[in-house]
Amino acid sequence: MSNKALLEFLDVASQAETLFNIRREVLGETEPQVVDDDSESMEEEEEEDSEEEPEDKKKKKKNKKNNKLEMPKRNESPTLQALVDKYNPNECADRSTDFSCLLSFIDTSISDLDFSTRAKNGNISLSEEGREMMRTYLEKMQKIFMFSQRPDRESIRGVFVKATRSHKAYILKRYKSQPQMGNDLHENVWRRIMHADRGVVLNLMDKKAARERYRLENKYEIEWSFVTRQMRKYISYLELEDEEFTTLHAVALEFLVECNAGPRKISVLDPIVRFYTYDNYMEHLDSLSLTKPTVFRIGDEDSSITITDVEAALSKFKRENMLVQVGVAKGTYIFSRVDFLFFFHCDGSD
């Protein structure tokens, strides 16, 4: 291994011509430019796909709109890869990218950025000249990071985090006996330089907010009033004659039970899990000589909202609208109506 190989790499890679070559490769500007004008691209599509169905054209337009919110892909840089291969004493792992090779190089050679000296008594000292040398090389590394990543991708912030993690691990080991000095180098030198440019970060945050707005604007929502109207409609299916009853009505009633009692579909279709009206459930408990519930608990089983007067609760919440599910794990029985959910706990098991 050559002495201070990382510093030699930073000196060469931070030259202006090299940086701009890396940026062009990362942005894909070495490839033939593609016209990004919507009107021209639409005309070309119409000429090439003149026999295409109108519905397919609509889908293409929609996909184009969605793609505008997607972050573009970063291309690998042969220039960066060649420099890392030249100065890195270790070979990159299989399937590594040019930048992952760089991060691995920095991780194994992070000590090259330490310009401190250790005295005979074991104490570490760092002159102002050494501190300034560290700043100089960190500024070069920061430029390489910025030119090696797309400024419109969130990954540009992540690469600084990974490099900072490597430096933090080195500092903890090197300055174990002098933590204050190590913390000063990491916080006041490294972290003040090794971060993405402020303008790039602000632009990324704006784009992230735009993507979030797009997702929220295109989210499908159902109002609660619509759900209750549908459930009332499904209840009427119980009055249908056998010859009128179809699989469509069966599915609607299965969904009605789910909305009222809160189970998953498997609970509704499982023959072991049973559902009762409130009065039928009381008869079921009598037949098995089980203790009847004496308290209404509103919410989940940990809720502190309780009603000790059962008859008052039945009058308030309408006993004819309550469904009881028997078969939930550990003897928990669920009572509910469309807009309330109650949990009861009995001493017996069923």
Q: Tell me how far CA of residue 50 lies from CA of 36, 53, 330, in angstroms.
A: 21, 9, 65
Name the domain boundary from 216, 249, 272.
216
Is the pLDDT at 65 greater than 60, yes or no? no
Contact 123, 178 (CB under 8 A): yes
- At 347, the amino acid letter reads D
- Whether residue 179 is found in the same domain as residue 278: no
Contact 203, 151 (CB under 8 A): yes
Name the domain boundary from 216, 242, 276.
216
- Whether residue 209 is found in the same domain as residue 241: no
Contact 118, 124 (CB under 8 A): yes
Q: What is the pLDDT of residue 327?
A: 74
Half-sphere exposure of 65 (CA within 13 A, CB side): 9
Q: What is the pLDDT of residue 345?
A: 39
List the structure tokens of 43. Answer: 């005309």
Q: Which domain holds residue 113?
A: 5-28+75-216
- Whether residue 259 is found in the same domain as residue 189: no
- Whether residue 10 is found in the same domain as residue 97: yes
Confidence band of 56 (pLDDT split at 50, 70, 90) = low
Flag whether the pTM goes above 0.85: no
- Whether residue 212 is found in the same domain as residue 98: yes
- Whether residue 13 is found in the same domain as residue 127: yes
pLDDT in tens, 300-340: 677 778 888 888 888 877 777 777 877 754 444 444 433 33
Confidence band of 8 (pLDDT split at 50, 70, 90) = very high
- 124 DSSP β-pair partners: 118
pLDDT in tens, 97-126: 899 999 999 999 999 999 988 887 888 988
Q: Crossing angle, helix 128-147 and helix 155-174, to 10 degrees?
A: 150
Rounded to whole angstroms, the Cα distance separating 242 from 319 reads 27
Which residues are CB-neighbours of 293 under 8 A, at least 6 positions away?
Answer: 310, 333, 344, 345, 346
How many structural domains are present in the chain? 2
